[in-house]
Amino acid sequence: MIIIDTALQKRAAEGRPIKVGMIGAGFMGRGVALQIAHSTPGMQLCAIAARRGAQAQAVFEQIVDPATIVRAHTQAQIEEAIHRGQPVITEDPVALARSGGLDAILEVTGSMDYALTGALAAIESGKHILLMNAELDGTIGPLLQVHAAKAGVVFSNVDGDQPGVQMNLLRFMRGIGVRPVFCGNIKALQDPYRTPITQRAFAEKWGQMPHKVTAFADGTKIAFEQAILANGTGMRVAKRGMLGLDPTNQDPTQPLRRLEEYIPLLEPYLDPEGPGIVDFIVGAHPGPGVFALGMHGDPRQQHYLKLYKLGTGPYYLFYTPYHLCHFEVPTSIARAVLFQDGALVPLGAPCVGVVATAKRDLQIGDRIDEMGGFDSFGQAENLPEIVSQRLLPMGLAENCVLIRKIARGATLTFDDVEIPPGRLIDALYREQMRHFGLEG
């Protein structure tokens, strides 16, 4: 964003860089570190917290002299290193998030309780908190926004990943007077029964973890991404699991449909007077990217839109042909720190959540494994159905123990499982439901 690069250049010229702490040191964390260090004047990555210190060390070694890196165990040690201008690593996300000298905390782990402790500590200590963690955001993001608003800080998802790209596209549309009615992601593959075994080769090719890649392939990730977009816009899903139109039926011999050809396929599901739909499609050309359909009520402006090659309506197609993930994350940090603007912020009570669905026949005594594993996948669902049917959020499913048999393809409920005791995520989820009056 043009105004942001000017503001960052001013901070660089004044020698007052935005100082960032990062929780997580995986695939995305490595990319963010490179982007801040080499392409973002006016911003400095000062500290990293990770459960495995060696990973945090490796991330910093990409961008600084390894001899300068400090390993800290306490908040005081972290603050001293930041004051001296030395890069610092720790295994304690709370100590990092509470440390003075930092303007914002970026969370990139994809975890629940580990990430949550850092996010809460950042908010409590008056720091902006940005998530590259759709799973946490899609589970209790609305409650974290409540806490952030009370503390006077920004809580936000990020530019670059699909939800943020879609939100920026929607803001553009609204800015020219077009009302969004559908917002979609473009996928090349959707198979809810993929596993870390089927995705291992792809993960190894790109240096990622098999279960992370599986969460994309089985639809869990896109369910969370579209859920947080819904919660930031007031939109809904058309049905559990979303429409996920796939005219090619995943047949590689079939030609890809042009993106415009999806409009009549989607039209039966669109409500011009409704809040709008979040969803995804499979097999479009061009792709990847994100797109949105919108309407304009002024016939005179419709005439101009036709002149500018957007067609005759009633639905106008807008498309962003890429999502660049970590490349745009510094923009989100700068938006929060310099302009108190969030890239994607929950509006209030959650509209859409993500519920756990059995990936295989589950037996009494089975312990559900991690997201992107062998046991479950996530589906986006509207909150009234989640509440009335006591559906189990995907963000709470890991390590739950089955107390009933569940057939492959069935959605789990709270009554089907025993929740592990003492988890912070469960307590915060209950608090969120009470706060917004959503208890069943």
d(CA 330, CA 172): 20
**DSSP notation for 236-299:** B-SSTT---B-TTTT-TTSPPEEGGGHHHHHGGG--TTSS-EEEEEESEES-SEEEEEEE---H
Identity of the amino acid at 359: K
Backbone region of residue 161 per phi and psi (left: phi > 0; alpha: psi in -120 to 50; beta: other values): beta
Torsion (CA) 198, 199, 202, 206 in degrees, nearest 10: -160
Order of all β-strands in the sheet with 289-295: 277-282, 179-187, 289-295, 316-320
- Sequence-distant (6+) residues with CB within 8 A of 133 are 107, 108, 109, 110, 111, 115
Domain 2-160+327-339 CATH class label:
alpha beta
Higher pLDDT, residue 247 or 37: 37
Question: Tens of pLDDT along 118-176?
Answer: 999 999 999 999 999 999 999 999 999 999 999 999 999 999 999 999 999 999 999 99
d(CA 429, CA 70): 36
d(CA 11, CA 422): 44
The encoded tokens of residue 200 equal 């291992």
Question: Tens of pLDDT along 356-401?
Answer: 999 999 999 999 999 999 999 999 999 999 999 999 999 999 999 9
Question: Tens of pLDDT along 19-78?
Answer: 999 999 999 999 999 999 999 999 999 999 999 999 999 999 999 999 999 999 999 999
Identity of the amino acid at 401: V
Contact 10, 42 (CB under 8 A): yes
Residues of the chain with CATH 3.90.1210.10: 352-435
With tokens 């699909």, the residue in question is 162
Could you give the C-alpha distances from 224 to 46, 83, 281, 357, 382, in angstroms and in order? 30, 38, 15, 14, 12
d(CA 253, CA 47): 49
pLDDT band at 351 (very low <50, low <70, confident <90, very high): very high
Residues of the chain with CATH 3.40.50.720: 2-160+327-339
Whole-structure pTM value: 0.95
CATH code of the domain made up of 352-435: 3.90.1210.10
Contact 323, 347 (CB under 8 A): no
Sign of CA dihedral 280, 283, 287, 293: negative
Residue 250 has pLDDT above 80, yes or no: no
